[in-house]
Amino acid sequence: MNAKNILIAESGSTKTDWCYLSNGRKKNFQTQGINPYFLQEAEIISIFKNEIKLSLTKNPIDEIHFYGAGINSDDKKHSIERSLKQYFNIKKVYSYSDMLAAARATCNHEKGIACILGTGSNSCYFNGKKIAFKTATLGYVLGDEGGGAHLGKKVLQYYLHGIFDKDLQDSFDEMFNTDINTILEHIYRKPFANRYIAQFTAFILANRGHFMIENIAEDCLNDFFINHLLQYPQVWKVPIHFSGSVSFYLKDIILNLCEQYEINCGEIIQKPMKGLIKYHSEESAAIK
């Protein structure tokens, strides 16, 4: 029996990574983020039409596995599945949360706590088969501790309140060339405020080593540890895995915090796709 032709998608709020698997071959491509919490079905299908360059006649698909931010209810799950079925014209379509993507990519079939630190933040306890428990996610206004929107918000607060020293204020002006009115317009009147705020995380990465920048990064990540990780009864019993751009680029701080809290740090990866390819390839091989 031939292996299945599988299309895997892993979507954050900003970007979606896709991988087509067929007989050991892989084709990778990328589109903008597809979040059913912010996008209607017609808008999602429009993204598919405009940005997916995979030829469906040359690359037949047996099933689709879509992991994404915003898939946190049956309503959103069905919305993304209907969009995928309509565009790709296949029946076997499955959608999952981005949290399950991180858990499967890092824990595989083992117990562990999986964390996402990207544009937003999230975490869960994975029992080797499914998500057994997770702390509440409150979005970029009330939560997302340790995520890009949280870090970016602190950068903006320091800049707009004039807390940064002159070198950092000047560096910010040179890097972004913006002003308070433009910033507030983007945050309060334009869509995707979380993406806009998260882009200012780049200022932290560009100025590592400055004590103010280090304080922001450490405080935000420590908030994630206190408000989320330390709420898991299993936190000292299983490895803690991290995925997402913030995790990857600030992993030195994460490692220090894990050591400080005597937590066993597992994998720290930028993107879950490699782990998802392994997971679904093994699942497909087991079914054959």
278: domain range? 6-101+273-287
Does the residue 74 lie in any domain? yes
The per-residue pLDDT for 14 is 75
If asked whether residues 93 and 10 sit together in one domain, one would say yes
Does the residue 248 lie in any domain? no
- pLDDT category of residue 73 using cuts at 50, 70 and 90: confident
If asked whether residues 90 and 147 sit together in one domain, one would say no
Does the residue 84 lie in any domain? yes
Nearest alpha-carbon partner for 38 in 218, 268, 196, 164? 196
The DSSP-derived string for 11-31 is E-SSEEEEEEEETTEEEEEEE
If asked whether residues 207 and 280 sit together in one domain, one would say no
Does the residue 120 lie in any domain? no
Does the residue 132 lie in any domain? no
If asked whether residues 96 and 18 sit together in one domain, one would say yes
Q: In what order do the strands lie in the sheet with 93-97?
A: 25-32, 15-22, 6-11, 63-68, 93-97
Residues 6+ apart with CB under 8 A from 249: 205
Nearest alpha-carbon partner for 277 in 1, 22, 11? 22
- pLDDT category of residue 36 using cuts at 50, 70 and 90: confident
**Strands (DSSP E) found in the chain:** 6-11, 15-22, 25-32, 63-68, 93-97, 112-117, 121-126, 131-133, 240-243, 265-269
d(CA 154, CA 212): 11
Sign of CA dihedral 128, 130, 133, 135: positive
User: Which residue, of 218, 242, 260, is where some domain finishes?
Assistant: 218
d(CA 35, CA 41): 10
The per-residue pLDDT for 70 is 80
> Cβ–Cβ contacts within 10 Å for residue 17, how many?
20
Sign of CA dihedral 94, 76, 45, 121: negative
**Overall average pLDDT of the 223-243 stretch:** 95
**Overall average pLDDT of the 102-121 stretch:** 93
Question: Left if phi > 0, otherwise alpha if psi is -120 to 50, otherwise beta: which for 264?
Answer: beta
Residue 53: CATH number of its domain: 3.30.420.40
Does the residue 224 lie in any domain? no
Residues 6+ apart with CB under 8 A from 219: 154
**Predicted confidence (pLDDT) at residue 9 exceeds the cutoff of 80:** yes
The per-residue pLDDT for 285 is 52
If asked whether residues 25 and 96 sit together in one domain, one would say yes
**Predicted confidence (pLDDT) at residue 1 exceeds the cutoff of 50:** no
Does the residue 226 lie in any domain? no
If asked whether residues 12 and 97 sit together in one domain, one would say yes
Q: How many domains does the chain contain in total?
A: 2
Does the residue 68 lie in any domain? yes
**Predicted confidence (pLDDT) at residue 288 exceeds the cutoff of 60:** no
pLDDT in tens, 180-207: 999 999 999 998 888 899 999 999 999 9
**Predicted confidence (pLDDT) at residue 217 exceeds the cutoff of 90:** yes
Residue 168: CATH number of its domain: 1.10.720.160
Strands 112-117 and 63-68: unpaired
The pTM assigned to this predicted structure is: 0.83
